[in-house]
Structure formats: structure tokens, C-alpha cells
């Protein structure tokens, strides 16, 4: 039941990403809400859940917006897995989540630029990397406390109502 709820919320964030976030442009960068959701799931539930949400998120973006399947899928899965794996023994609060979201977005952009360069999609990868990575990482970092709060409320709700043993 938890996975179904995660998929529904991911779908809602994906719809918000594709519709309403087109009006939120800051210096040509818009927030990546599904990536932030996958990173927050990875922080709260671990690397396997984060990688699964990152895989589904990247696959949806590749299907709807990519030229071929792979770059977003691989990059988002790796970023969510690495963030989930790196925060096992950390106190999970808003500040740590903001820092981990910054690092996760940086990792995602790094892998995405490498994959796009290797497949011939980018000609000047470092220009793309530096002009997009830092602003998008900062924007996702500032949005992450809101998404983290949604994830925490959802996890507590699901744990309370679906993990009760009668």
C-alpha cells in the first residue's frame, strides 16, 4: 500500500512539474519537484525506496520529454540511491535534507551531463553543467523542506494506518 501511495504522490508532483511549475522560472531554471520527492524518500526510507522512486520518475520523464529512454532514468536512480545510502547514520531534519537535496541535484546533473555528452546530445557539456547545475541545486534545496514535510506526514500516516498489527 505504501508503494501505491508513493506512486500517486509522485504522479501528483509530476503533474505539478509539467503544468504549474512552468510559471515558476527563476533565472531560466524551474524546480524539479519529482527529483526532490525522490531524494526526500531516499532520506526518509533508505536507498532502495529512493532508487525505485527515482527510477520511475526518470522513466516517466524520458518517456514524455526525452529523445530516448535512459539519461533521466539512470541519473535520477543513481542520485537517489547515493543520497539514500549516504544518510543512514545522519539526523534527518530540514537542514540536513536541504544539504542532501543540494548534493543529490548536483549528482543528478553531473550524471545527466556525462550521459548526454557520451550520447552526443550535448556539444559543450561544461557550459551546460555550470550554468544549470548550481542554480537548479539551490532552487531544489530551498524547495526541499516543503517536500520533506509532505513526505514525513505521508510516512507517519502510512505507518500508523497500515503497519498496525491487530
Q: What is the pLDDT along the chain (166 residues), one digit of tens a residue?
A: 788 889 999 999 999 888 877 777 777 788 899 999 999 999 999 999 999 999 999 999 999 988 888 899 999 999 999 999 998 888 878 889 999 999 999 999 999 989 888 888 887 888 877 888 888 999 999 999 999 999 999 999 988 887 765 5
For cell 508513493, name the residue. Answer: 6
Structural domain harbouring 87 = 33-153
Put residue 26 in one of left, alpha, beta given phi > 0 → left and psi -120 to 50 → alpha. beta
**Across the strands, what pairs with 26?**
29
Model pLDDT for residues 87-134, shown as the tens digit of each residue: 888 887 888 999 999 999 999 999 998 988 888 888 788 887 788 888
Cβ atoms of 113 and 125 closer than 8 Å = yes
Query: What are the residues whose beta carbons fall under 8 Å from the beta carbon of 74, sequence distance 6 or more?
Result: 58, 111, 115
Of 30, 32, 40, 26, which Cα lies nearest the Cα of 13? 32
Domain-embedded: residue 44: yes
Domain-embedded: residue 17: no
Domain-embedded: residue 22: no
Domain-embedded: residue 15: no
- The total number of structural domains in the chain stands at 1
Domain-embedded: residue 164: no
Kindly state the cell numbers that stand for 16: 505539478
CA separation, residue 47 to residues 53, 59, 66, 93, 139 (Å): 10, 18, 25, 17, 23
Amino acid at each position: 500500500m505504501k508503494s501505491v501511495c508513493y506512486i500517486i504522490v509522485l504522479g501528483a508532483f509530476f503533474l505539478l512539474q509539467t503544468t504549474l511549475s512552468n510559471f515558476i522560472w527563476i533565472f531560466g531554471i524551474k524546480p524539479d519537484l519529482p527529483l526532490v520527492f525522490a531524494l526526500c524518500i531516499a532520506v526518509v526510507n533508505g536507498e532502495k525506496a529512493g532508487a525505485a522512486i527515482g527510477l520511475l520518475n526518470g522513466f516517466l520523464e524520458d518517456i514524455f520529454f526525452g529523445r530516448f529512454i535512459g539519461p533521466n532514468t539512470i541519473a535520477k536512480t543513481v542520485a537517489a540511491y547515493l543520497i539514500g545510502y549516504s544518510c543512514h547514520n545522519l539526523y534527518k531534519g530540514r537542514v540536513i535534507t536541504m544539504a542532501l537535496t543540494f548534493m543529490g541535484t548536483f549528482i543528478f546533473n553531473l550524471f545527466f551531463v556525462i550521459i548526454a555528452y557520451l550520447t552526443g546530445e550535448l556539444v559543450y557539456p561544461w557550459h551546460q553543467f555550470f550554468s544549470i547545475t548550481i542554480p537548479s541545486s539551490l532552487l531544489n534545496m530551498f524547495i526541499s523542506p516543503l517536500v520533506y514535510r509532505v513526505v514525513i506526514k505521508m510516512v507517519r500516516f502510512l505507518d500508523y494506518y497500515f503497519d498496525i498489527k491487530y
